[in-house]
Amino acid sequence: MAAIEATGLVKTFKGRKTTVKALDGIDLDVPEGTVLGLLGPNGAGKTTTVRVLTTLMEPDAGSARVLGHDVVTEADTVRSLVGLSGQYAAVDELLTGRENLWMFGRFAFAMLWVGALIGLSVGGPEVASSAGLIWLFPLTFLSNAFVPTPQLPSALQQIAEWNPISSIVAACRHLFGNPSPFASPDGFPAQHPVWLSLIWCVAIIVVFAPLAVRKYRSATGH
């Protein structure tokens, strides 16, 4: 059995003024136990191919099977059999792998409600994925996850110190005995990172959980 089989995959993105055919009849036959690399310039369709094969995006035409399961009609089964990692590792380099998992797990439940609201508010999974990145990237890069706040411009330091992602990162570093990332060591975020992270988690759930539930009921009529 082939690990990946694809026949005639087509995916077109239609904009207001332009239409881009990202995939134009892609065929793949990848045997089990082998490694396949997709190489090509930007816009060649590499990411689109991966998204189709991992059920994040449905093709406009053609078919694909992963480990014998159709990526469209058996999407849930395919998801249970594959793993997907982005090209950028958005992790805290001061923490170990276990500590990073602990950090993301702690914040995940709260952020799930944000994702649920976004997913229910837009037209489909592709748009939801893009919409999530639009607000998540600025929030992440305006935090202390990648750059200690003293190295940020002074105008951004206060924003970064009270950022919810900064609070989670600071709480993890504090609990695991790593250096404080704050520019103001006497401020509340630096003195009480664990409490601030809990406050942010509760606040996000309190705000977004009711909104997501209301949106779901409105969309389904329940």
Residues 105 and 186 in one domain: yes
Q: Is the pLDDT of residue 176 over 80?
A: no
pLDDT of the residue at 162: 83
The phi and psi torsions of 73 (rounded to 5 degrees) equal: -80, -20
Provide, rounded to the nearest whole percent, the portion of the chain with pLDDT above 70.
80
Inside any domain, residue 90? no
Residues 156 and 214 in one domain: yes
Q: What is the mean pLDDT of residues 24-40?
A: 91
Residues 110 and 51 in one domain: no
Inside any domain, residue 86? no
Residues 106 and 175 in one domain: yes
Return the top range by mean pLDDT from 63-77, 106-120, 130-144. Answer: 63-77
Residues 8 and 64 in one domain: yes
Label residue 160 left, alpha or beta by phi (over 0 means left) and psi (-120 to 50 means alpha).
alpha
* Total of domains in the chain: 2
Which residue shows structure tokens 């639009």?
134
Tens-digit pLDDT profile for residues 135-164: 777 777 777 777 777 777 777 877 778 888
Q: What is the mean pLDDT of residues 188-197?
A: 78
Read off the pTM. 0.51
Nearest 5°: CA angle at 8, between 48 and 36?
Answer: 55
Report the C-alpha gap between 19 and 154 in whole angstroms: 43
Residues 104 and 191 in one domain: yes
Inside any domain, residue 92? no
What residue numbers bound the domain in which 25 lies? Answer: 2-81
The SS3 assignment for 214 reads: helix
Residues 74 and 116 in one domain: no
Residue 187 · residue 166 · CB < 8 Å: no
**CB neighbour list of residue 204: distance below 8 Å, 6 or more residues apart:** 110, 111, 113, 114, 164
Residues 72 and 162 in one domain: no
Residues 60 and 7 in one domain: yes
Residue at which a domain ends, from 81, 112, 129: 81
Tens-digit pLDDT profile for residues 86-98: 655 555 566 666 6
**CB neighbour list of residue 33: distance below 8 Å, 6 or more residues apart:** 3
CATH code of 28's domain: 3.40.50.300
Sheet holding 2-14, edge to edge: 19-31, 2-14, 61-66, 69-70
Inside any domain, residue 28? yes
Residues 206 and 133 in one domain: yes
Residues 31 and 139 in one domain: no
